[in-house]
Structure 1
Amino acid sequence: MKRFSLNILFAVLLCSQTVYAQQKKRLVNNWEFVKQDLGGIWEAVRPVKKGNPEDVPLWQKVTLPHCVNAEDAVDPDVNYYQGPSWYRTQLEIDNNNQNGRTLLHFEGAGQKTDVYVYTTKVGSHVGGYDEWTVDITDAVEAFKQTEEFKTQFKGKVPVSIRTDNSRDLEMMPSDLSDFNLYGGLYRYVNLIYAPGLSIDKIFAVPEVDKAGRNGKIAVRARFYNPTSLSSATAEIKLTDPKGKVVHRSSRNLNALNGDVLLADFQLKNPQLWSTNQPLLYTLELSVKTPQGTAMQTEKVGFRHFEFVEKGPFLLNGKRLLLRGTHRHEDHAGVAAAMTEEQIRTEMKMMKEMGVNFIRLGHYQQSRIVLNLCDSLGIAVWEEIPWCRGGLGGEVYKEQGRRMLTNMIEQHYNHPSVIIWGLGNENDWPGDFSTFDKEAIRAYMTELHNLSHKLDPSRKTAIRRCDFCKDIVDVYSPSIWAGWYRGIYTEYKQVSLEEFNKVKRFLHVEWGGDSHARRHSETPDNALSKVQRAGAADERAGDASLFGGSARVSKDGDWSESYMANLIDWHLKEQETMPWLTGAAQWPFKDFSTPVRPDNPVPYMNQKGVIERDFTKKEAFYIFQSYWTEKPMVHIYGHSWPVRWGEANEAKMIKVYSNCEEAELFLNGKSLGTKKRNSQDFPSAGLRWMAPFATGQNTIRVVARKGKTTVQDEISFVYQTEKWDKPAKLTLTKIAEENGIVTLEAKLFDSKNVQCLDAANWVRFSLAGDGQLIDNQGTSTGSKYVQMYNGRAIIRMKSNGGKSSVALKSEGIPTVMINL
């Protein structure tokens, strides 16, 4: 058995067409899956009669990528499954390369994986996030000589894969982490035909001075050489972003072991990679032997970056304020098993919001993500999953070393990467009987040194482990002003205090939770309960919704309205902090977590600016108004169908825009023009006070930036009736399209006045032919959810039949609707 790690960028992953692109296949279809363990590998390959009811377990057809926990991660009634699962398929394998190798390349599988060809175990891997490859050549050739190959499997090769995400204290990451440790083949699996000598990895080191005039690049390669060839010819070609060949060279190789230097040359006035102009060069390597030619293509970029000690961040010699967010590998209905199209959509939405920096939390992510960061212009902090729990034994520590090595070597060439993260919240104990700070410091130092040995060009960083902040190059403390501690107006003061404690400061993780579609007329009320503590760090228990000191995370209303104010304040302050390297809001998209069962959408961290299904929250547009250049305007409240207050009471209308000025119209009447001033809080001065008409209202805004005009419009009802305690529910069909029915629940008092501040829990259930679209982890995709302003939405597939849907809330009579 031979097993190694490949670093192959294929055409389908934003690269030029290569020989490998002709010999690589994504194994998407024709898979079967069972969510349990087997008694042994024989149960996966034994001959059975089709449709035999006595054949157990029952396998289901799936496509890859596939996550074991696609739905149960957010099922409000169960703990998500952590245990073994199996996948199986049958492959037609015909490798025509002379002495070629047949490989299975895994882009990531969780969390422990075993691979079998028929009944032969050909490889294993521990770790859910790095890439790995298994050479199945010998096992395939041996199986082709068997009678089973010809008869039972009709010329195909059975491949079975066991994945296991069971709890294991001697594995990273900890189960105390604020995210699910998913199981399954949740990234792509590839079948590769490689020649006898192939390229394992390329290490390209493009360098340029701060002025951007003098460039150079060194190229090394590591080969996979199972037949021990002793010589080859390597050809290097470098093409600039416009397609012009700027270098071509050839070298005869007589040593194919270790990392072999292939080229080292100068380049005058290289075109620079930046977040505004992410210009990429194409590096092509071909390696020829009598047994064939291997080719690999890499995208590389020339850029110079610097975290100024006690100062800002510089890219290519100029200050760049890092405007960031975070990403978890998680999506509605599929969990970690996001397709390339879904990943591309998400990353483009980040760029649309104005992001130029991202922290990939808290583990190595798909190279698809890194390729998009390169091409879109998003600087990257990527980290290993040493997250919470403490420090385990030698097996645990060796996994960390291995994952750090794999992350750096597999993502070495991405110009977007500026930081290798070594850990997150490593001051959080709980997995082990002892918590040894000195042992953690020693291991952190080891990882720091290993990172610089593998890659001297990038910085190291951690978040929230104060007793290790002197070890790494860049440090991020815990600052959650206005959410877990303090109030949001303390943000600048607290940040400056933390900045002064370290050599290089970068603030990652800020923001707070918001229940999508929940809005408030008085969003800042909870701040009156919170003391100005002069500190804004998250502490043990702060994420809980019960007990402890007053804090907005527990005592606030979780409205989009409050989060709009908090984000607005942070962004306007960041514009007046010249020493700030940057900050990253946590996170871009809501994601599932096993440690938050009591949140308004159970098992969801709801701090995203979009929901788990790409639905934008109001906060998305606030970031756009500060971070983007393309003219935009957005009236707050698109998902707020009913506002409330006294008759003739002046209410605030907020507009978020990056335009110079905006004119507002209420029910057709102009309320005047206002100019934007980023320091005029809230909404940069684009706010109007006016009384609404009882009943229906329409607001329209026209904003101007230079000669460009953009506009936005919303309609809503203004309710002046006062409501008493909730007394009855209604359930109404409000839409149907392509067999998808949308139902809306509402809560009223005994006089039929809608209770617009109601946050009651409601539960939907269905009997009949239809199917609820639930377990999505969204405000409109959960069968058990807190109401937003006295309403809740659920969708269902009608399946062309009849159904009854029930709506239940404790202490209120249940209602039903027949469809």
Structure 2
Amino acid sequence: MEAVPSPLPSEFAAYEARIGAIRDAVEEMFGRSAVPCEIVDFSGEWDFSKDCSDWQTVRAPHTCNASDGMSGSMYRGKTYYRKALFVGREQAAIDFVLGFHAAGQASELYVNGHLCSVYPGGYTPNLVDISPYLCQGNNELLIVCDNTPSEERIPVSADFNFNNGLHEKVFLCRVGRASLDPQAYGVDRMHVTPEEVSRQAAAFTVHTAVNNRSGCAIHAAVAVAVYDAQGNAVAGETIPVEVQAHTVQDVSYTGQITEPHLWDGIQDPYRYTVKVALFAPDRVDEQSVCIGFRFFSMDAQQGFLLNGRPYPLRGVALHQDYPGAMSAMTEEQFDADYADLAALGCNFVRLAHYPHDAYAFERCDALGVIVQTEIPWVNHLGPDASDAYFDSIEQNLRSMIRNYYNHPSIVFWGLSNELNGSHWSSGGSPQGGFSAEKAVAWNNAFYAMAKELVPHPLCGLYRPMGRPLTVPSPETGRRISSL
């Protein structure tokens, strides 16, 4: 029998509000901002069950489909991952954010029986502030994963496995009252935007956000520094900032590097390191990310150009799928896949049909392999498609771009694939068949959304089965063909 935790009652919310007010008053008297942030691997020692009665200890990445995913009897249903979190008295000034990078194919998160997150995506990170639901002492975390067929989320059907489980790592972020916000700019907690890049100069902007969870304003400083591969500082600035109580404040730094060493594909995948540190007044948080400066374009005669020169793309489509592991791949298995790509002479990979593990993007950055990543909007868009289905596509798109924004390998962002195809086997016609009119309208909407989220994106959609699809360009009105 399934365990059905109760929703958050109004009495609990009122109690939590009173506790929060008391904590704010204490902080105004004594100050609590100088607790350092800590991000820990939380992947080990999860109790796993299909029915909440027979439990076994597993470590993420994990999927129950590792044993049956290549068979005709693949498990489709709910699974349960349970873990204890102890909160000591000395951690009263700490907030907790749980991050699971992929939980297939949809997930619910419960803390001490209270539902605190519902996420309709199986391939993009979900970061949840669980602090309001925690108590001093032992706390029970329960993640319910569900790969039951559904018309309300992507993907509805496809020619690949919809694996269940925590098939990527889990992290726990312990943050003090002042921190770099773990939700505003995704898992890197910053976005590094190339404003204008050439062989002569690279102009860029670093965006981050400071979260003040305390009951009083704080005076802080954000230090941004850019280092080359040899560890030499090449740009940076310290920015003073005042953040009001219970607010998240954006902070940005614009810099320039003259004669930058470009990220130049497999010949020279050179990267810089950007470090952001928060002082309030001591150093309470720090984050670093590797970036690469490059510029690219598409030309009707010359094809794809990287850093101003023709760069023919030769590669493969690759799934996150490995015998005996399925989607819950280890780093060693990823390394084996990318060794095969290198042996084939690939300089491009389409990571089909969904965002892959963060480690895959890191390997492509380091190897100089150009990537197309994409959301798992495959096959289906019918006249009866619901608002929930639209929201599922939007949430996947926003999360994919927000969390994988900084990877220099990602040049192409995929929106949809083979709409009007179907691998549905649960009876009937999902969403009432196919609507070409809706396909054009929704692709236009998500294309415009992607253009707002990331600068200079090359966004694509793949042809519906057996027929071309053209979409009016939001900028020019000219009709552009699907890829």
Q: Normalized against structure 1, the TM-score is what?
A: 0.49
Residue 132 (structure 2) aligns with: 138
Partner of 1:665: none
Q: 1:418 aligns with which of 389, 411, 416?
A: 411
What's the counterpart of residue 63 of structure 1? Answer: 59
For 2:479 and 2:400, locate their aligned partners in 1 and report how far apart those are by CA, in whole Å: 26
Question: Aligned ranges for residues 624-703 of structure 1 at < 5 Å?
Answer: none
Maintained 8 Å contact 1:220/1:260 = yes
Structure 1 stretches lacking a partner, 5+ long: 3-18, 39-56, 150-155, 474-500, 507-819
* SS of corresponding position for 1:182: coil
Q: Indicate conservation of the 8 Å contact 1:97/1:292, yes or no.
A: no
Contact 2:197-2:293 at 8 Å conserved across structures = no
* Structure 2 residues not aligned, in runs of 5+: 1-7, 14-33, 423-428
Aligned runs of 1:608-627 on 2, under 5 Å? Answer: none
Q: CA deviation at 1:121?
A: 2.8
* Partner Cα distance (2:305, 2:125) in 1: 32
2:41 corresponds to which of 10, 15, 26:
26
Following superposition, the deviation at residue 98 of structure 1 comes to: 7.3
Secondary structure, counterpart of 2:69 in structure 1: helix
What does residue range 412-491 of structure 1 map to in structure 2 within 5 Å? 412-428=405-421, 430-465=429-464, 467-471=468-472
Which one has the largest radius of gyration? 1
Aligned to 1:729: none
- Secondary structure of 2:151 counterpart: coil
| Whole-angstrom distance in 2 between the partners of 1:222 and 1:88 | 32
Rate the CA distance shift 1:288–1:440 in 2: closer, same or farther, 3 A. same
Percent identity, please. Answer: 27
Post-superposition CA distance 1:595-630 (Å, at most 9, x none): xxxxxxxxxxxxxxxxxxxxxxxxxxxxxxxxxxxx
Which letter maps to 1:137? Answer: S
Which residue matches 1:555?
none
With over 3 angstroms needed to count, the CA separation of the structure-2 counterparts of 1:91 and 1:209, relative to structure 1, is closer
Q: Are 1:308 and 1:504, in contact at CA under 8 Å, matched by a contact in 2?
A: no
Secondary structure (helix, strand or coil) at the match of 1:386 reads coil
Return the alpha-carbon distance in structure 2 between the equivalents of residues 503 and 440 of structure 1: 14
With 57-66 and 276-285 compared, the bigger mean Cα shift is at 57-66
Residue matched to 2:335: 344
DSSP 3-state at the match of 1:254: strand
Q: Residue type matched to 2:81 in 1?
A: Y
Closer, same or farther: CA 29–406 of 1 in aligned 2, 3 Å: closer
Q: Contact 1:98–1:196 (CA<8 Å) still a contact in 2?
A: no
The one-letter amino acid paired with 1:159 is L
1:222 pairs with one of 193, 201, 209? 209
* Structure 1 match to 2:257: 267
Instruction: Please tell me the residue identity of whatever aligns with 2:293.
Output: F
1:95 & 1:301 partners in 2: Cα distance?
Answer: 43
* 1:222-621 superposed matches below 5 A: 222-227=209-214, 229=217, 231-254=219-242, 260-275=250-265, 276-290=267-281, 293-391=284-382, 392-428=385-421, 430-465=429-464, 467-471=468-472
Whole-angstrom distance in 1 between the partners of 2:35 and 2:354: 27
Distance 2:407 2:401 in 1: 10
Q: Which residue of 2 aligns with 1:488?
A: none
Q: For residue 220 of structure 2, what is the amino acid of its counterpart? A: A
Pick closer, same or farther for the CA change 1:351–1:113 going to 2, 3 Å.
same
Can you list the C-alpha shifts for 1:430-453, whole angstroms capped at 9, x where unaligned? 522242211110000000100001
Letter in 2 for 1:381: Q
Count of residue correspondences: 428
Contact 1:118 1:159 in 2 (8 A): yes
Contact between 2:193 and 2:455, CA under 8 Å: does it hold in 1?
no
CA contact (8 A) 2:443 2:471 kept: no
Counterpart Cα distance in 1 of 2:470 and 2:250:
36
Tell me the TM-score normalized by structure 2. Answer: 0.82
Greater relative contact order structure (CA < 8 Å, 6+ sep): 2
The 3-state SS of whatever aligns with 1:73 is coil
Shift of 1:262: 2.0
Q: 1:272, 1:279 within 8 Å by CA — same for their partners in 2?
A: yes
Matched residues in 2 for 1:407 and 1:101: separation?
A: 25
In the alignment, is the contact (CA less than 8 A) between 2:109 and 2:142 conserved in 1? Answer: yes
- The answer for the alignment partner of 2:145 in structure 1 is 163
Query: What whole-Å deviation, never above 9, does each CA across 1:304-339 have from its counterpart, x for those lacking one?
Result: 111113431110111111111122111111211112
Pair 1:100 & 2:100 matched: no
Alpha-carbon separation, structure 2, partners of 1:163 and 1:375: 32
Quick one: structure 1 residues 321 and 362, their matched pair in 2 at CA, closer, same or farther if it must change by over 3 Å? same
Taking the TM superposition and a 5 Å limit, the aligned residue runs for 1:788-807 are none
The residue aligned with 1:73 is 69
1:194 aligns with 2:179: no
Write the letter of the residue equivalent to 1:72. Answer: D
Which whole-Å deviations, capped at 9, do the CAs of 1:221-243 have from their partners, x for residues lacking one? 13444446554211000001222
- In structure 2, the residue matched to 1:91 is 85
Instruction: Describe the shift of the 1:388–1:504 C-alpha distance in structure 2 as closer, same or farther (beyond 3 A).
Output: closer
